[in-house]
Amino acid sequence: MKKLLFASFLLLFSNFLFAQIVRNPVSWTATSKKIGDQTYEIHLTANIENAWHIYSQSTPDGGPVPTSIAFTKNPLIVKQGTTKEVGKLQQHHEPLFGVDVKQYSNKVDFVQVVKLKANVKTSVDVAVEFMSCNDKECLPPVTKNFTVALK
């Protein structure tokens, strides 16, 4: 009985040893910057490990999952325009997907301007969905949620 129990323990333990470690090669920060009276920039900054990249919001259909940014409605805030991408945009034909992809490596800053309807302190809830790839593999899309204070 002890041998069976020991063998079962070894089999279970070996599964943990060979389990694939899933890591995320992209780290995010979310900050706000006051740029005028009741006007702020929301900065969602992706720091991307070497050899990895994430995709632009304007990556075409049929390709990899584009980065998408969703702001939860806040009755105290009005978005001004669209979310801009600040970084070195790379574009190339990706045979795997059969489309021209737009991607960022190293770092990209997604910037959204918002204006408060009143002079109050509030926060913005934001969800960022993105997909990261390197030359060998793509990881499944990930969603990161942030709460950004506007002070």
Residue-wise pLDDT for 71-110, tens only, equals 999 999 999 999 999 999 999 998 878 899 999 999 999 9
Sheet holding 77-87, edge to edge: 26-36, 39-48, 107-116, 77-87
Whole-prediction pTM value?
Answer: 0.83
Domain 29-150: CATH architecture, name and number where available: Sandwich (2.60)
Residue 113, pLDDT above cutoff 70: yes
Question: At 151, is the pLDDT very low, low, confident or very high (cuts 50, 70, 90)?
Answer: confident
Neighbours of 129 (CB within 10 A): 14
Instruction: Compute the CA torsion angle 99, 95, 104, 43 (nearest 10 deg).
Output: 40
Q: Where are the domains of the chain?
A: 29-150
Question: At 22, is the pLDDT very low, low, confident or very high (cuts 50, 70, 90)?
Answer: low
Residue 115, pLDDT above cutoff 90: yes
Residue 12, pLDDT above cutoff 90: no
According to the model, what pLDDT value does residue 5 have?
Answer: 35
Q: Comparing 99 with 15, which gets the higher pLDDT?
A: 99
According to the model, what pLDDT value does residue 14 have?
Answer: 40
| 81 contacts 114 by C-beta, under 8 angstroms | no
**Percentage above 90 pLDDT, the chain:** 75
Which residues contact residue 35 at a Cβ distance below 8 angstroms, ignoring those fewer than 6 apart?
41, 113
